[in-house]
């Protein structure tokens, strides 16, 4: 049986999902820059060769068995930061959400984090962290985003439950909720309309979209500071209330 790849003593490991682009890529790069061994799980590979990327469809019925084998082979016990970043967003409503599509969103946004947690928590030494990437829509809602809103609300609940269940372990957890960030996901959601993006940018008190690197810096700070255990961190430039 293959043994986990051992790194230099004390070197920290980042395991992240969806690091091929957007916030995930920016986060993986930031952790690489900080000296972490960085392992990505996603369907496509990131452009930074320092990131150890493993192709995987986290929504597949076979994902649990594949993840178990991969984590056993790659990750040794020690200080680990786990970032649940991969997510799917569709345009749907409570009236018309297709059940299969709804299930697919939940499998990636909620069930996959649980599967990975089950595989890695036992390997995490004190000082490790589990960071969930939520959304402004993790604690509020807008129309036409039924599945996504539901899943992100569930993610906050998972984070809070994780915090309570890991009490005394020295592992901390938090949920970073980005505001409107200039990513492929946002652009696809609005049909790549510059006019719509301009309106959305105006919904922050800074009048601009957030850069993925700003969220990455927030995730890294939260991951390395256990005082924020169980916290929901809103990283949204201050939203204009209407």
Q: Is 27 exposed, middle or buried (0-12, 13-18, 19+ CB in 10 A)?
A: buried
Above 60 in pLDDT, residue 201? Answer: yes
pLDDT at 2: 41
**In whole angstroms, what is the distance from residue 224 CA to residue 40 CA?**
19
Above 50 in pLDDT, residue 33? Answer: yes
Count, residues in the chain: 242
Whole-structure pTM value: 0.92
pLDDT at 162: 98
Q: What is the mean pLDDT of residues 21-42?
A: 97
Lowest mean pLDDT segment, chosen from 6-10, 169-173, 188-192: 6-10
pLDDT at 7: 53
Nearest partner of 177 among 133, 143, 145, 118, judged by Cα: 133
Residue-range domains of the chain with CATH: 13-180+211-235 (3.40.50.720)
Give residue 224's Cα distance to chain centre.
16
pLDDT at 199: 84
**Residue with token string 């649980």:** 114
Above 90 in pLDDT, residue 240? Answer: no
Give percent of the chain above pLDDT 70: 94
**Nearest 5°: CA angle at 7, between 6 and 8?**
130
Give percent of the chain above pLDDT 90: 78
pLDDT digits (tens, 9 = 90+) for 98-139: 999 999 999 999 999 999 999 999 999 999 999 999 999 999
Q: What is the mean pLDDT of residues 159-167?
A: 98
Predicted confidence band of residue 11 (pLDDT cuts 50, 70, 90): confident
- Mean residue pLDDT of the chain comes to 92
pLDDT digits (tens, 9 = 90+) for 41-65: 999 999 999 999 999 999 888 889 9
């Amino acid at each position: 049986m293959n043994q986990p790849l051992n790194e230099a003593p004390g070197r920290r490991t980042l395991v992240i999902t969806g690091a091929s682009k957007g916030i995930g890529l920016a986060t993986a790069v930031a952790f690489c820059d900080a000296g972490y061994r960085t392992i990505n799980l996603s369907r496509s590979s990131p452009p930074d060769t320092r990131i150890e990327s493993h192709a995987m469809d986290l929504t597949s019925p076979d994902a649990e068995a594949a993840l178990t084998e991969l984590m056993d082979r790659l990750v040794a016990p020690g200080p680990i930061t786990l970032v649940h970043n991969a997510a799917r967003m569709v345009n749907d409503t409570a009236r018309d959400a297709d059940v299969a599509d709804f299930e697919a969103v939940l499998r990636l946004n909620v069930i996959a984090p649980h599967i990975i947690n089950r595989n890695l928590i036992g390997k995490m030494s004190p000082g490790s962290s589990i960071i969930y990437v939520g959304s402004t829509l993790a604690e509020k809602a807008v129309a036409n985003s039924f599945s996504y809103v539901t899943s992100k609300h569930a993610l906050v609940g998972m984070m809070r439950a994780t915090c309570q269940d890991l009490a005394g372990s020295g592992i901390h957890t938090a949920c970073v909720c980005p505001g409107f960030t200039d990513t492929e996901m946002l652009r696809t959601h609005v049909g790549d309309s510059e006019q719509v993006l301009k309106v959305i940018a105006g919904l922050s008190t800074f009048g601009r979209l957030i850069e993925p690197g700003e969220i990455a810096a927030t995730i890294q700070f939260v991951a390395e500071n256990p005082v924020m255990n169980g916290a929901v961190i809103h990283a949204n430039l201050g939203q204009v209330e209407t």
